[in-house]
Each structure stands twice: as C-alpha cells, then as structure tokens.
Amino acid sequence: MATILLKARLALELPAINQALDALLQTLPAPVRPAASHTVVSGGKRLRPLLTVLAARLFGCQDKRVYTLGCTLEMLHAATLMHDDVIDSAATRRGKPACHTVFGTTETILAGDALLSEANACVASFGDPRLCAVFSRATADTCAGEILELHAMHNTGLTQEEYASIIKGKTACLIRSACEMGAIFAGAPEAGVEALKTFGENIGMAFQMVDDALDCAPEEATGKPTGGDLREGKLTPPLQMYRNALDAASRASFDKAFEQGTFTQADVDAICAAVRERGYDAKTREAAEGYLSLARTALDAVPDAKERGILLQMADYVRDRKK
C-alpha cells in the first residue's frame, strides 16, 4: 500500500489528538457541550490535526502542545459544519442525524459560535501573533467560501475559476492553515513555512475535487447518498463535464431542472451513473492530480525527515481515497 506509513502514523497520533480535542471540548460552556461533542466526536478522520502535528514534527518540534494547536482547526471545521446544518436544514451528516435535528437550531448555532470562539481563544493563548493571523484568516476565508458557494448554487454559468475560488475558501484554506500553523509553531524558517502552506493548499484543493468525484459514487461504496451536490445545485467538475457534453436540447432540460432544483431521485441516479460510465469522476481525479503534483513539489524544499515521506503519502491518500 502506498499509504501504509500514513495510516500507521495516524493510528499512532490519534489517541493524543482525541485527548486534546476532548480537553478543548471541556472549555466550552457546559450547556452546549453535548451539541458540540455530537458534531466533533461523531466524525472526521482528524486529518487536519494530523497535518499540524506532521508539519511541526517535520521541523523537529517535539512540543506536545501541537496536538492542542492542531485541534483548534478541527473545532473551526466542526463549527462550520454546525452552521451549515442549520443553513441546509440537512437531516443527516456523515450518516448520523444532523446536530440541529437532535439539539435544535438555537443550540446548534450557539454551540458553533462557542466552538469557534474557544478555538480562537486557544490559538491566542499560544501568544504568537502569526498563529492568530493564520487562524483568523482561515476562519474568514472558510466563511467567505461558504458564502460564495451558497450564492453560486443552482447557477449553470459557474466558471472553473469561480469553482476554484469556492473550494479554496471552503476547504483548501483550512488544510493550508493546518500545515502552516504546524510549521510556524515549530519555528520553521520562512521558506519552510511557505512550502508547507503551498503543500496544504494544494492538498486541500485536490481533497475537495476528489470529494466532488466521490459524490457521484454509489451510496454502497461511500456510505453517503449519491448525488448530493446535484440535488443541492452545486456544479462540481464531474457535473460540469457531464453538462458540457450534452446536446443543446438535453442541456436546456438539465439546466432548467438544475436551476430550479427539480431533479427527481431517478434523474439524480441516472445522471450519476452516466457520470461514472463516461469517466467524468475519474477525469476529476486526474484534474486533482495537478494540485497533488504541486503539493509534492513543494516538499522538495523541506527537511528529509520521515514526516516528509508521510506527507507525500498524504497526496497518494487524497488521490486514491474511496470514501
């Protein structure tokens, strides 16, 4: 397996990551802890905190506080998921009931606010203005990405540049910041911080594109309902390729249903099956490979520690992941 070192290291670091996350959850006001835990504990592969830890270790930092630092971005991520749940009125999240369906809208909004503000306070407690700047920029960019995405929904005229701006904001900037914060915390030289930043941003772009490819996969394979993006009116790369290849009449009919959000479940299943048959999901992964190549190249400039090999495997993991 091309990702065996990565998986072994994740298994090794996971207990300390989860312990740091639990400790951070205890800093939240007691009434919102259940709602916050529901979202934080229930999911995520903890790739963001792992990236912070790997980035710091790469530059020789052994300070255990890096687990806490890495978890601040996991909290920010959970906060955005909670506000998204309210906004989307989604019934489920990662196969479990969405937070607002269990705890209500009020608790979900407030628990999200509490997660974000305690994460922010935690970053500030490190006393390094560069960490504060990176974290606050990650927060603002994530928020801006989600706003852009919402305003681009049901828009068949979305350009590739607009799509790139959206995924950079909603996904890549957080992964970039996870890598950057680890390098800064480790006291890496400026060129090292830049390298990790470039690595993280490109890994993040690729991660989201593969996510968009996986959205067209059968539910049996991923555990997530097929075609969520199509139903929500997100013109991701595989859907854009599908649309662009349609003849004029079929495209007009697709556009009407896409813009009005009127696809039936049968439409969604048929379109996703066609996406797979015509290889648009595979082509999306190929496009993501461009970003992964930039990510790998960025690591030419970092120390040849064992973490460098693991970060290179992260690129393979992102390319090959099946769910």
Footprint on this chain of a second copy (rule: CB under 8 A) = 29, 31-32, 83, 86-87, 105-106, 109-110, 113-114, 116-118, 120-121, 123-129, 132-133, 135-137, 139-140, 142-144, 146-148, 150-151
Q: Which two tokens stand for residue 4?
A: 């065996």
Give me the DSSP letters along 221-253: HHSS-TTHHHHHT---HHHHHHHHTS-HHHHHH
C-beta of residue 236 within 8 angstroms of C-beta of residue 215: yes
Q: How far is the CB of 138 from a second copy (least distance, A)?
A: 9
Q: How far is the CB of 56 from a second copy (least distance, A)?
A: 19
Q: How far is the CB of 111 from a second copy (least distance, A)?
A: 8
d(CA 323, CA 321): 6
Cβ contacts of 88-96, under 8 Å, gap ≥ 24: 88/232, 93/39, 93/42, 93/43, 94/42, 94/43, 94/44, 94/224, 95/223, 95/224, 96/38, 96/42, 96/43
Q: How far is the CB of 90 from a second copy (least distance, A)?
A: 13
Select 126 or 263, whichever has its Cβ closest to a second copy.
Answer: 126
DSSP state of 171: I
- Residue 199: name the closest of 51, 97, 305 by CA: 51
Select 155 or 222, whichever has its Cβ closest to a second copy.
Answer: 155
Q: How far is the CB of 314 from a second copy (least distance, A)?
A: 27
Select 24 or 213, whichever has its Cβ closest to a second copy.
Answer: 24
Select 231 or 243, whichever has its Cβ closest to a second copy.
Answer: 231
Give me the DSSP letters along 44-100: ---HHHHHHHHHHHHTT---TTHHHHHHHHHHHHHHHHHHHHHHHT-SEETTEE-HH
Q: How far is the CB of 68 from a second copy (least distance, A)?
A: 15
Select 64 or 130, whichever has its Cβ closest to a second copy.
Answer: 130
Select 35 or 257, whichever has its Cβ closest to a second copy.
Answer: 35
101: three-class secondary structure by DSSP? helix
C-beta of residue 146 within 8 angstroms of C-beta of residue 173: no
Select 14 or 124, whichever has its Cβ closest to a second copy.
Answer: 124
Select 80 or 284, whichever has its Cβ closest to a second copy.
Answer: 80
Q: How far is the CB of 177 from a second copy (least distance, A)?
A: 12
d(CA 114, CA 117): 5
d(CA 9, CA 176): 20
Q: How far is the CB of 186 from a second copy (least distance, A)?
A: 18
Select 32 or 287, whichever has its Cβ closest to a second copy.
Answer: 32
- Residue 156: name the closest of 261, 240, 216 by CA: 240
Q: How far is the CB of 144 from a second copy (least distance, A)?
A: 4
Alpha carbons within 13 A on the beta-carbon side of 60: 7
